[in-house]
Structure formats: structure tokens, C-alpha cells
Structure 1
């Protein structure tokens, strides 16, 4: 992982919000939209988990395979059509894109669908309940037609609420980060684990959209930076499993409407539809428009 400048020392637990990003990320976060300048759009409905589980699974290969298999059927039809623009949101203090210290995007191996393990000098695997994320990108200037070949960079915290490359103890890891091009249906799919709820934030996943994988891996222009919100019922199901104990407490201290990122609109433009169960894994679908 290369360094572009010395990173600021981040708080180990949570994002510092928009104020932080004004100083470090704003110059890269307000780029014009793809092919004509429209921004991303998003709309997704919330679905409860189909079942709850009392077991304490981890993202084993069998669970990941099961979640991925289920995702393949719904990857082109994520959570509804995009009809409004998704808000630009903070990338947080841990983007790993070179704008705040280390840059994982120029590392060989970053273009990958399964982001559960570190790559390069470490192969540490992040443990947790399996999650497949389908993010579908559409073109607002063309009737929200699917956009093939754009690149999505996705990252999030681990089961303990830590961000690889930044948080204490995982500075030398780069798990839970990856880039995928969208397919003919406009969908980029990632195999990962369900992130923790950490102090001060609603459970979420970060993403950036680039014009292509070449742009993503060469410090190219970021078209859109935003975040995906996870539904409350599903979060409660996951956090009842072993390893997520601290998330129960943190989840009880915030709401989607009071969150400093999603609170402006209740997260409606970023709330994923999630199906599945804690034993075999969950699938999160979100459609965004460009």
C-alpha cells in the first residue's frame, strides 16, 4: 500500500463527519457526474430479515457461497428503480483512496469481488455474518438505463468497528476494501461480512463510483461518494450473534433519522433492501442512478 501523504491520526471508533472531509476530501468529492454531469441517484426499500438466528456464524466459505448464489439471481434487480439523486456524503476519515494517507487503490489485487480477506503481505480474514452487496448503477440522462463498465470502490468497518489500514491493530490489513466493474445489468457485486455498529453512526457501507476501473486504480476522478444504510431489523438480527456484542449497545444509541449522515432524509435514498438470514448470510441490494 503506497502513501501519498502523512495521514492525520484518526479516531479509532467513528467517522468525524462532513467537517473533517471539507479539509481533506471535498476537492475530490464534488466531481461532475458521468457522461454529462448528472449525480448519482438512489432509492431502495427496506425489508426485514426473513428469519432470525440464535447461532453465532462467521463468514465461512459455505455461507459466502450461499449468499453469492442467492445474489446472482437478484443482482440485476436490486432494490427498485432509482428516481431521485442520492446525496453526496462524507467518505469519512478512512477512505484508503490516497486522499487521507494510504492508498489501496493502486495496489495489485484491489479489483476483486470477495473482499473478506486482506491481500498482498497479509491474508487475514475478517470474521462475521456473511453479506453480499449488489450495487446497481443506472444512467439518469438515459432513462435510468443500466451502466456497464463503471467502477465501484466499496469499503466498510469490520465486526469490531475497525477500519483496515487505519484503526489500531489493523493498520497492516486491507480487508473489506475492493473495486468491481459493473456488469451488463449495471451491477457490481461484493462478498463481504456484515459491518458493526460503532459509536455515533448508523450501520453503513461506504462507496465511490468512478468512470472505469482504470480511473479507480490511477487516482482518477471520483464521480460520486456516498454511503449505503442497513435496515434496523436486519441489524438487530445480526447483532444478536456472537462477536457483535458491542454493536448492540452502539445501535441503541442512535437512529437512522438522528445519524449525522443519513438523518437529513431518514436514509431513504440510501437504505438497502436486505434478504436472507444469519445462518446462510444476507444479500443487500441498492440501485443508484448517475
Structure 2
């Protein structure tokens, strides 16, 4: 499997993130002046972890910063690039809004096999005291157990599984039922996602307000690769990669993107990550 290099889209995202960060700093300074120059409490700066204290809807986030913007890679299926048949966009297809993304939809059949994984993302507003972002939409996708991407990779071009959209609830949460992704050459095990301000505009990757990736912790990967059926191809790839050598997470070793994962191969895993937007 080829590498997923940073490209023009990534560069533009970084420029936009820098512009937004500069504007937020200016607004915070004005806010501090208006409040008697008292410091803002709630959101951390760019050098803090993405969430100091996280919950699952009933807890709180005491400090947060924007999760790093990352490339969508060559396999987003969100209308921003093409596969062998032309431009492909699952975001406009019937059935894309779903929580269980293991099977194909919109007239396609097929189910991705692998160790069960539940992914929960909690969206918080870094510019508003880490308030939950209810009503935002998330498009999430990732590779199969053997490292292929539906719609693009050999053997699964006729499938669109492992892709789906969910709308954040009152607690800013979205949850997907899927499988533990494999590890392919040149990349640390990861899951892609795009954040949109609403479901109504989640029709193209060009409309997203943030694109990033979730990194799976080494401890969970070693439980799956070489142990669970279907993941044998991941062993050598995983042994040859690290967070610091990965071409996406290497800038900060993925510190703000590593999910908290619990569970085991027999019962399945649950991954959670607070996403500062």
C-alpha cells in the first residue's frame, strides 16, 4: 500500500488553522480586556493536550485545544478526488448516515470482517470554554483488516463499507460501530474523520471545518495483529512503523490524536477521543 503524503489540501488546511488560531488569540485578548484582563479559563493553548479531563457525555472537559489538522489521504470518497471510475462521493448516497459502518450500503452488499470496535468522538469548541458541539456532523472512514480501502483498493472497489456519517448529540458525541483497522506499509494504524458544522452541509469534503485522524495506541494494536484472524498482513507493517516515523503523526508523535482504547480481541474494543474544533 502506498504512503499517504501531505499534499496541497493539507497545506491549505494548515494555513486556515493558523489563520483561525490567530483570530482566536485576538478575540481572547479582547475578551480579557473587557473582563478586567482576567485570564480565560477552560481552554488550553496549542501546547496542551487535546483534553485534560474527558467524559462520555456526563463528564467535563477542563481544558482543550484544536486537534491537529491532517490530510484526508488518497481514499476519502467524499467528492474531492477520483477512483478508477471517476469522482466518488459517498456523502451524497442514500444510507450514509448510520452508526454501524461494517456493511456496504446504497445497493451494494458486503460486510467487512474483523475484531469489533466502537469509536466515540466527543466534539468540543476550543473557542468557547470547551463547550460540546451538538448538531455537528462527522464523516468517518478507515481501512479493512488487511489494509484496503473500499471504493479504491483492489478487491473492494465494489464496496463502500467502513464509511459513515453521524450527527453529534447534546453532549457533542458521535459513535460508530466498526472493526479494528489493519496496519499497512508506511502508516501507523489510524482512522480518518471530517467534521462539518451540520448534516445539511456534509455533502462534500470541501465543506468540512476540520479534517484529522485518530491514532490507535500500540497496546491495542499488539493485541490484534498477529493474534486475530485476518490481520496477519499487519504484523510486518506494524513492526516497521512508529508514531515518530509515521508521515502524519510524526510532528508531535500523535499526542493529541491517540485514542483511549479498552477491551480485548474476544469481546471487542472501544476507542474514545475528545476532538477540539
Distance 1:179 1:15, change over 3 A: farther
Runs of at least 4 residues of structure 1 off by over 3 A? Answer: 24-33, 36-42, 77-82
1:94 equivalent in structure 2? 75
Using the TM superposition, give the Cα deviation of residue 250 of structure 1 relative to its aligned residue in structure 2, in angstroms: 0.6
1:247 equivalent among 225, 229, 234: 234
Structure 2 unaligned residues grouped into runs of 5+: 26-44, 83-87
Counterpart mapping for 1:67-146 below 5 A: 75-76=56-57, 83-101=64-82, 102-146=88-132
Counterpart mapping for 1:1-290 below 5 A: 13-18=1-6, 21-22=7-8, 43=50, 75-76=56-57, 83-101=64-82, 102-217=88-203, 221-239=207-225, 240-290=227-277
Deviation string for 1:74-120 (max 9, x for gaps)?
74269965522221111100011111121111101111110000002
Structure 1 unaligned residues grouped into runs of 5+: 1-12, 46-73
How many matched pairs?
246
Using the TM superposition, give the Cα deviation of residue 254 of structure 1 relative to its aligned residue in structure 2, in angstroms: 0.6
Distance 1:235 1:44, change over 3 A: farther
Deviation string for 1:208-253 (max 9, x for gaps)?
0001111112566210011000000100001121110111111000
In the alignment, is the contact (CA less than 8 A) between 2:79 and 2:204 conserved in 1? no
TM-score, reference length from structure 1: 0.78
CA RMSD of aligned residues (A): 2.7
Using the TM superposition, give the Cα deviation of residue 134 of structure 1 relative to its aligned residue in structure 2, in angstroms: 0.3
CA distance in 1, matches of 2:109, 2:265: 24
Using the TM superposition, give the Cα deviation of residue 274 of structure 1 relative to its aligned residue in structure 2, in angstroms: 0.3
TM-score, reference length from structure 2: 0.81
**Structure with bigger gyration radius:** 2
CA distance in 2, matches of 1:94, 1:79: 34
Distance 1:44 1:15, change over 3 A: farther
In the alignment, is the contact (CA less than 8 A) between 2:118 and 2:269 conserved in 1? yes
CA distance in 1, matches of 2:194, 2:13: 11
Q: Comparing both chains, which one has the higher relative contact order based on Cα–Cα distances under 8 Å and sequence gaps of 6 or more?
A: 1
Distance 1:232 1:164, change over 3 A: same
